[in-house]
Amino acid sequence: MSKTQPATDDLVVLGKIGAVHGVRGEVKVHSFTESMENLLDYPVWQLRRGEDIKQVKLASGRLQGKSLVAKIEGLDDREIARTLTNYEICVYRSELPELADGEFYWHQLEGLKVINQDQHLFGIVDHLLETGANDVLVVKPCAGSFDDQERLLPYTEQCVQSVDLTAGEMHVEWDADF
């Protein structure tokens, strides 16, 4: 493991280290990627907890039941592995695959202003939730918001009319009273 100081805004969280697994330094991993095993496609992880950032290399990983188990290169001790619990697993934005036009990563949507068809500013996208049927935008009020209501909007073609990353805006078809 090596300590590095990458620009934290250049990092994207793809998972989190959970409990230790076994006695040889393996850890359980909570993956936030669309297919949980996709996290294993990144050979170098930036582990972040608060201001502490460590760069590690993935030695191996596997799907075990409904979770992932990872082995970090050079880490063979259960007690040392335990110290990595709750570290976020990050990669550099530049390592993420290119998306097709009209597709966005969740981190790109967070922070966008949400404006409805009547030009009411609902607030900004705080985060997204995965519900199974469709993803949900959690929109929290901000300075200049139409009201102080938190809204949960479906991230569907019927609701989201356009996304303009350059302008920092998302336009939605959603009634202000709903």
**What tens digit of pLDDT does each residue of 130-140 get?**
888 899 999 99
Q: Is 50 domain-assigned? A: yes
pLDDT at 5 over 80: no
> Do 126 and 71 reside in the same domain of the chain?
no
pLDDT at 3 over 70: no
- 122 backbone dihedrals φ, ψ, rounded to 5°: -80, -30
Contact yes or no for 159/174 (Cβ under 8 A): yes
Domain of residue 6, residue span: 2-95
Give this prediction's pTM. 0.77
d(CA 176, CA 14) in angstroms, rounded, equals 33
Tens of pLDDT, residues 153-174: 999 999 999 999 999 999 999 9
DSSP strand pairing (88-92 vs 52-64): unpaired
H and E: helices and strands count for the chain:
2, 13
Q: Is 100 domain-assigned? A: no
CATH number for the domain that contains residue 159: 2.30.30.240
Q: Per-residue confidence at 80, pLDDT binned at 50, 70, 90?
A: very high
Task: Find, among 10, 106, 96, 105, the residue nearest to 53 by Cα.
Answer: 10
Q: Which helix (H) or strand (E) holds 139?
A: strand 135-140
Q: Per-residue confidence at 114, pLDDT binned at 50, 70, 90?
A: very high
